[in-house]
């Protein structure tokens, strides 16, 4: 009987034959905290997407008033904010609206702002960063100075100061009044100031990639700048872009909640975590549950995204010790 060498999937030889994407997934799949965080994020996304269906099945609404669930002082009847079989997370003081319904509808608003703002900043930053890094020279200098000027602005103060005039301007351009105009403003202003951070990272990566052999070979073969940027550079920038997206999105979700908390974002009766937190301040002594629930929901989501972002960054790091995969 002849001896046959069997290569285990965990052996160094098997690892050597894996692609960078397979190696990254192997690293990520061994991070149990990251897998749990991914499960949390998927749960949030599914619940937010299916919020109308869930509320319809349970017979609840984020906007329906229920005075019978409140006592004479406008506070929820019963313990822990009126938690019951009818209202799983209690009711809102003063209105009697179901907190569970408002919580899952609030996830829709926060995630929508976060996703759209992240898409906008990533798209703008990716394009400008690649152009600056590839062209270099005066193009890079002009873009670099423009990024410096943008970073010099006190962005959060400007967001606060420009909320009213820009919202009114959007309404005059045909955007529906009220919360739709406010949400549009938040997305646009986050994109206006957020793209710079993406562009700086992408520019640095592009400066390194443009000196690589495959780019030089494309230039020698007569490839156009458009071909090199879209076919050679962009496909090799997916790793840092994924990390940027995973770390930027929770920041924008938190920013939307902060602005709504301050009364500069979405307003009542819109279902938003920031609106709920802002309203709960008035009742934090009499009904602390109302403050606790949206606060925990926001913290858990942001932490989950941050854990996934850190795990992805580590998984895509080519310097990660391969012995950790054995």
Residue 16's pLDDT is 56
Give the per-residue pLDDT at 116.
Answer: 93
Burial class from Cβ neighbours inside 10 Å (0-12, 13-18, 19+) for residue 165 reads exposed
The reported pLDDT for the residue numbered 52 is 92
Backbone angles phi, psi at 91, to 5 degrees: -125, 160
Q: What is the pLDDT of residue 31?
A: 80
Alpha carbons 142 and 35: distance in angstroms, whole number = 42
pLDDT, tens digit only, all 326 positions of the chain = 444 444 444 445 455 556 666 777 777 778 888 899 999 999 999 999 999 999 999 988 898 888 888 888 888 888 788 888 888 888 888 888 999 999 999 998 889 999 999 999 999 999 899 989 888 888 889 988 988 888 888 888 888 888 888 888 888 888 888 888 888 999 998 888 889 989 999 999 888 888 888 888 888 888 887 888 888 888 888 878 888 888 888 889 988 888 888 888 888 888 888 888 888 888 888 888 888 999 999 999 999 998 888 888 888 765 554 444 44
Buried b (16+ CB within 10 A) or exposed e, 81-94: bbbbeebebbbbbb
Q: Where in the chain are the domains?
A: 38-325
For the domain with range 38-325, which CATH number is right: 1.10.3720.10, 3.40.50.1970, 3.40.640.10, 3.40.630.10? 1.10.3720.10
Those residues whose C-beta lies under 8 Å from the C-beta of residue 197, and which sit 6 or more positions away, are 121, 125, 244, 248
- Residue 52 CA to residue 47 CA, distance in Å, equals 9
Taking residue 141's Cβ as centre, other Cβ atoms within 10 Å add up to 11
Residue 295 CA to residue 109 CA, distance in Å, equals: 15
How many Å apart are CA 326 and CA 165, to the nearest integer? 59
Q: How far apart are CA 80 and CA 234, in angstroms?
A: 52
Predicted confidence at residue 192, as pLDDT, reads 86
Give the whole-angstrom CA distance, residue 50 versus residue 290: 23
pLDDT at position 103: 93
Global confidence as pTM: 0.82
pLDDT confidence of residue 324: 47
Task: Phi first, then psi: give them for residue 76, nearest 5 degrees.
Answer: -60, 140
Which among 191, 195, 215 has a CA at the least distance from the CA of 203?
195
For residue 86, what pLDDT is reported?
Answer: 85
């Amino acid at each position: 009987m002849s001896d046959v060498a069997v290569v285990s999937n965990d052996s160094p030889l098997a690892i050597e034959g894996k692609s960078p994407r397979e190696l990254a997934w192997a690293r990520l799949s061994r991070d149990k905290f990251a897998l749990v965080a991914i499960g949390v994020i998927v749960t949030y996304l599914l619940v937010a997407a299916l919020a109308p269906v869930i509320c319809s099945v349970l017979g609840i609404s984020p906007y329906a008033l229920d005075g019978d669930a409140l006592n004479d002082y406008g506070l929820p009847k019963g313990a822990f904010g009126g938690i019951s079989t009818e209202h799983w997370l209690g009711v809102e003081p003063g209105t009697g609206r179901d907190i569970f319904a408002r919580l899952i509808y609030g996830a829709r608003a926060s995630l929508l702002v976060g996703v759209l703002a992240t898409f906008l900043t990533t798209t703008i930053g990716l394009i400008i960063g690649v152009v600056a890094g590839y062209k270099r020279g005066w193009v890079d200098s002009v873009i670099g100075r423009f990024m410096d000027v943008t970073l010099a602005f006190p962005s959060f103060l400007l967001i606060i100061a420009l909320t009213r005039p820009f919202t009114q301007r959007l309404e005059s351009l045909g955007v529906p009044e009220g919360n739709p105009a406010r949400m549009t403003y938040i997305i646009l202003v986050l994109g206006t100031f957020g793209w710079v951070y993406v562009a700086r990272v992408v520019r640095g990566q592009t400066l390194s990639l443009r000196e690589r052999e495959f780019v030089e070979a494309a230039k020698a073969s007569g490839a156009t700048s458009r071909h090199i940027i879209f076919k050679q550079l962009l496909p090799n920038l997916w790793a840092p872009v994924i990390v940027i997206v995973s770390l930027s999105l929770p920041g924008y979700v938190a920013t939307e909640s902060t602005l709504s908390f301050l009364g500069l974002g979405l307003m009542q009766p819109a279902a938003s975590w920031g609106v709920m937190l802002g309203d709960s301040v008035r009742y934090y002594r009499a009904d602390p549950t109302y403050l606790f629930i949206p606060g925990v929901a926001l913290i858990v989501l942001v932490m989950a995204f941050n854990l996934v972002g850190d795990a992805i960054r580590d998984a895509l790091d080519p310097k990660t010790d391969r012995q950790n995969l054995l």
